[in-house]
Structure 1
Amino acid sequence: MKKIFAVLATMLLVTSLFVGNAAAEKVLKVGISKEPANLNPVLIHGVYGESIAGNIFDTLVSFKESAKEAAPLLAKSWTISADGKVYTFKLRNDVKFHNGDAFTSADVKYTLDEIMNEKNASPSAQFFKPIQKIETPDAQTIVITLDAPYAPFLLALGSQTCGILPSRAAAAVGMEKFSRSPIGTGPFKFVEWAPDDKIVLEKNKDYFIAEPKLDKVVFRPIPKPETMAAELLSGGLDLGGELLPQDIDRMKKEGLVVKSVPGLTSRYLGFNAKRKPFSDLRFRKAVYHAVPFDQAIPGIFREAGDRAYSWIPVGVLGDDVDYMKSRTLPFDMAKAKALFDELKKDGVMPEKFEFTIYSPQDPQRKKIATVVSTQLRQFGITVKVETPEWATLFPMLKQGQCDMYAMGWGSVPDPDRWTYKIFIPDSNMNFSQYDEPIVTEALKQGRSASDPVKRSEYYKTAMRKALVEDFIHIPVAFLNTTNVMSKKVVGFEPSPEKYVHLVTAKRNVDLK
């Protein structure tokens, strides 16, 4: 009998230990506003995919702790030649991919080659056009030679869209399949993707910086901010963002933690430069005059954003905010009517004009489009607001099929990343189909200039032409990045780019 009791006691002890260990598993539940299209850095477009991929993949250099200064990551050191054309990186020799393959210079070369491969149509390809050749003298050295100095090159290498792929594994399955089964060197491994439900990552115990304190991370796409708020309040989420201002106020009162930083995210209105009457400067100026942006923006964004006057955020090289603000068109119904009447008289716009403004499904951009629609109705113009799924809207925007649209942008604090892809004619992110030689040349010069003063002037030239002479876009707002989290979350800080950095050289997010 004593033996039986002893066996039972041992079984109970083992069971209790097992249950205790299971209960102790730390799973961070994160809400994101959109499900990404893929998780392959070569093909990623959009902050949601980049944010998740940043936890699966590592880059050569890191901007996770300082958006203005590159820190070592997969590259432990580097040198730049005196002429600014040759970058030599010494790589870590203690890094393995999640499948066990050793990380080498061949993987870096493969990743860059795939980004530049026209067949992949990588959204990041334009940032690597200056590359002339890539050499791998040995497994821990990579030498990249540019055809001209390129000031933001380290930023391009440090972007989440330049996460390094395992060459053998990625080549074996191809870019598309790799998008749904990503393998990196980062702090978390990909586990599962249940479409429209969740993306699950688990910790990489062998991560070279530090073992993650979290066991798993579950990213849940929740497009409606009201639902995101409800999930945070109920405990269904530990961390979320892009919430309505009134919900943020309510969650503060409920004891949740709210953290904000000035963001690197914008909202803007764009016009199609290839279709009438949107291609006519008078129409664009008339819309600008017709909308009371000074009154509308605080109503839409409250404390979550401030009016924008340029594409380049305040504090970033070339921001030019005073000049741009002084050239902003005021709300003036009489001027708007005069311009619309002139367009009708000249046969550019029909008497009963109807068109559609497109926007993603988030409430802020939909409200921007709705304000424009409401205002233009007073001039006899019928404007529909449509908010298709992103998978439908993005191809339409890329192909120049949207006459007018309310969109957004987010990037790192370098003017090239805020302007080049948006305004260069051959970019698939130039949704307006805008083609202005003065702007194109200034942006190309801004890429190669090493002197910050000269660089700044190039970007001022480009933005003054595009935004306060041609009015091809109407800047609306720069947003703050605000995250709401449970008190259980330890060590998380918002990112200006809206990324979710969980493990870096200076942080290791935990759940208590």
Structure 2
Amino acid sequence: MSLTRREFLGLSAILLSGASLGLIKSKPPHRNINKNILNIAYPTDIAGWEPSQATPLQSSILKCVFDQPLELDKNLNLTPSIVTDYQWLDRHGQRLKLHFRNNIRFQNGDLFTALDFKFSFFDRVKLLPNTLLAGIWGAIDKIELPDLYTAVVHFQYPMVNAISMLADIPAYILPHQYYLKVGEKQFRRKPIGSGPFQLVEYQPEQRIVLEANPVYWQSKPYFSQLNILIVKDHISRAVMLESGQVDLSLNFSSYTAHKLGETPALDAKFQPTTGIMLLQLVNQGILKDKSVRLALHYAINKPLLSQALYQGHANPIYTPAGVGMPAYDENFSLLYNPAYAKQLLRASGIDFNKQQPLNIYTTKGILPNDLELVKAIAQMWNNIGIKTKINVMTQTMITAYQNGHKFDGPVLYGWNPATGDPSTYSGFLMNPNITFSLWQSDDIKTHISPALAALDMPSRIQAFKKFDRWQVSQGYSIPLFQNFSAIVSRNSLNIPETANGILDMKLIKRV
């Protein structure tokens, strides 16, 4: 789609005004490099060393200390980790058999057994209700242990995505003997895992120091020490990179990352992730009308927004899956068509001059350019005759409104499962039995049930492709963009790409 210069410059002025960044242009000072230490400016601290709650950004740190039952390769294929083999024992997704490695030790020397798995995914759920851990793995009814390296997991209801979730957040293995001996509070202060690094120093909101785990069961990491400085301000992180204080940082806007990448000593890397941004709709007011819902979608110029806000790195999406994800559907789209959007509004028969402004809800600074994105979308809707009112909320308010069913208009939402399994997108966001779903209508259950019951991945992918084509064509959600990661590092570093955008620190090396 061609964009007029007037369109691009006009929208860029609205969205990027005031977005200047004063970066250091002089040659950075010489520094003595300890090749065994990696210095990182990280944009957020972890929620805690008891990994029952985490975001994808935090999980890069947690995965240094804790192993997950399964891993993902660069193409989002599941690979063995602590779990070496798995199989369903029924056709409904309620009994899962797992086999474990027998040569893994935790950082304190304790040998891993199936008892640690049972503690991590069943006993801790009872100890830590109202956590993400409990929200996902509370579906387990019991775990049988035929021997020390085998487990049979029984689910209360079909959980066909359980295998994928063993490589997602918050699936981490903890040592049950140590945890029960020291208690939760002490464990948070001195955590023990079986991952490639062990914690040696932690100053909340300031600094994390990790050292290579001498008893790690896989190949040793390339760095013997990670110094992770918690620096939430992106300008401060940029200055630290250009001045040579740190080797690596991430979570920059595309604009800032491009600017930093122009520095001779630095490289900027961009790659799509498994995260998406979308507008969730509600079955209220004018949004009850299908023509109105579809008009809102056709009025959004996604390529223009991607160029203006993200320098083209955010891929427009039309179902909840992007490039490289299992359920990516390259043969389906609802392309920008404002003339057709106006036609749909006329067909609705609604007099929009007499309507109250449509509420649209967003955070500020939580998702990439979230407020700027919503401002631009609101302008595009205004251009077809729908007035809007932008409501800026904290993430806590978003959650409270969601749980209390208080939303009365579109909500900008970010969603970032790690594995790309389609059941963790619409299977959560459109499932009427889960609080994440804002749209509620009687026809959803009939259409989504076959997808939720698909036990094998190929069948699940096809079932969710069919469902997502249908639900987007009904105007029940408006997928917007596939997220991307922006990592800036010294050009002496080799940072392997990961399809989900989660930084794997054990694989980073100097070249």
Moved more, 479-488 or 411-420: 479-488
Q: CA offset at residue 420 of structure 1?
A: 1.7
The one of 416, 423, 426 aligned to 2:423? 416
Question: Aligned in 2, Cα 1:145/1:252: closer, same or farther, shift over 3 Å?
Answer: same
- DSSP 3-state at the match of 1:133: strand
Counterparts of 2:400 and 2:124, CA distance in 1: 20
Q: CA offset at residue 234 of structure 1?
A: 2.0
Q: CA offset at residue 292 of structure 1?
A: 3.1
Q: Deviations over 1:206-259 (max 9, x none)?
A: 212133332332334444544433332222332223323333333333231233
Q: Deviations over 1:253-300 (max 9, x none)?
A: 323123344422222222344x54556545534433444334222211
1:41 aligns to 2:46 (yes or no) = no
Structure with the greater alpha carbon radius of gyration? 1
Counterparts of 2:111 and 2:400, CA distance in 1: 37
Counterparts of 2:288 and 2:198, CA distance in 1: 47
- DSSP 3-state at the match of 1:158: coil
Q: Which residue of 2 aligns with 1:201?
A: 210
Counterparts of 1:158 and 1:184, CA distance in 2: 16
1:406 aligns to 2:405 (yes or no) = no
1:370 aligns to 2:375 (yes or no) = yes
Counterparts of 1:222 and 1:338, CA distance in 2: 51
Q: Deviations over 1:292-327 (max 9, x none)?
A: 33422221122312211110224544433323x0x4
The one of 237, 252, 269 aligned to 1:259? 269
1:434 aligns to 2:443 (yes or no) = no
What runs of 5+ residues in structure 1 fail to find an aligned partner?
1-21
The one-letter code sitting in structure 1 at the alignment partner of 2:342 is A
Q: How does 1:451-470 map to 2 (within 5 A)?
A: 454-469=459-474
Q: Which residue of 1 aligns with 2:71?
A: 62
1:500 aligns to 2:503 (yes or no) = yes
1:480 aligns to 2:445 (yes or no) = no
Q: Which residue of 1 aligns with 2:199?
A: 190
1:165 aligns to 2:168 (yes or no) = no
- DSSP 3-state at the match of 1:342: coil
Q: Deviations over 1:135-160 (max 9, x none)?
A: 11232222224577754332211224
Tell whether the 8 Å contact from 2:96 to 2:153 is kept in structure 1 after alignment: yes
The one-letter code sitting in structure 2 at the alignment partner of 1:342 is I
Q: CA offset at residue 359 of structure 1?
A: 4.3
1:90 aligns to 2:95 (yes or no) = no
Q: CA offset at residue 201 of structure 1?
A: 2.6
The one-letter code sitting in structure 2 at the alignment partner of 1:217 is L
Q: Which residue of 1 aligns with 2:248?
A: 239
- DSSP 3-state at the match of 2:390: strand
Q: Which residue of 1 aligns with 2:59?
A: 50
Question: Aligned in 2, Cα 1:444/1:187: closer, same or farther, shift over 3 Å?
Answer: farther
Q: How does 1:63-82 map to 2 (within 5 A)?
A: 63-64=72-73, 67-71=76-80, 73-81=81-89
Tell whether the 8 Å contact from 2:71 to 2:79 is kept in structure 1 after alignment: yes
Q: Deviations over 1:406-440 (max 9, x none)?
A: 2322231321122222222343433xx22345434
Tell whether the 8 Å contact from 1:232 to 1:238 is kept in structure 2 after alignment: yes
Q: How does 1:34-433 map to 2 (within 5 A)?
A: 34-44=44-54, 46-64=55-73, 67-71=76-80, 73-81=81-89, 83=91, 86-114=95-123, 116-117=125-126, 120-125=129-134, 127-128=136-137, 131-146=140-155, 151-171=160-180, 178=187, 182-255=191-264, 256-273=266-283, 276-277=285-286, 281=290, 283-323=292-332, 325=333, 327-328=334-335, 330-332=337-339, 334-335=342-343, 338=346, 342=350, 344=352, 349-350=355-356, 356-376=361-381, 379=385, 381=387, 383-384=389-390, 386=392, 388=394, 390=395, 393-402=398-407, 403-411=409-417, 412-430=419-437, 433=438
Question: Aligned in 2, Cα 1:162/1:357: closer, same or farther, shift over 3 Å?
Answer: closer
Counterparts of 1:408 and 1:447, CA distance in 2: 22
The one-letter code sitting in structure 2 at the alignment partner of 1:485 is S
Q: Which residue of 2 aligns with 1:12?
A: none
Q: CA offset at residue 30 of structure 1?
A: 2.8
Q: Which residue of 1 aligns with 2:16?
A: none
- DSSP 3-state at the match of 1:298: helix
The one-letter code sitting in structure 1 at the alignment partner of 2:308 is G
Q: CA offset at residue 164 of structure 1?
A: 0.8
Indicate the percent of aligned positions where both proteins have the same amino acid. 18
The one-letter code sitting in structure 1 at the alignment partner of 2:411 is Y
Q: CA offset at residue 67 of structure 1?
A: 1.8
Moved more, 30-39 or 301-310: 30-39
Question: Aligned in 2, Cα 1:340/1:183: closer, same or farther, shift over 3 Å?
Answer: farther
Counterparts of 1:358 and 1:237, CA distance in 2: 30
Question: Aligned in 2, Cα 1:454/1:87: closer, same or farther, shift over 3 Å?
Answer: closer
- DSSP 3-state at the match of 2:362: strand
Normalization by structure 2: what TM-score?
0.79
What RMSD in Å do the two structures reach over aligned CA positions? 3.6
Q: Which residue of 2 aligns with 1:3?
A: none
Tell whether the 8 Å contact from 1:267 to 1:476 is kept in structure 2 after alignment: yes
- The structure where helix makes up a greater share of residues is 1
Tell whether the 8 Å contact from 2:367 to 2:414 is kept in structure 1 after alignment: no
Counterparts of 2:221 and 2:229, CA distance in 1: 20
Counterparts of 1:125 and 1:32, CA distance in 2: 28
- DSSP 3-state at the match of 1:295: helix
Q: CA offset at residue 57 of structure 1?
A: 0.8
Counterparts of 1:77 and 1:453, CA distance in 2: 19
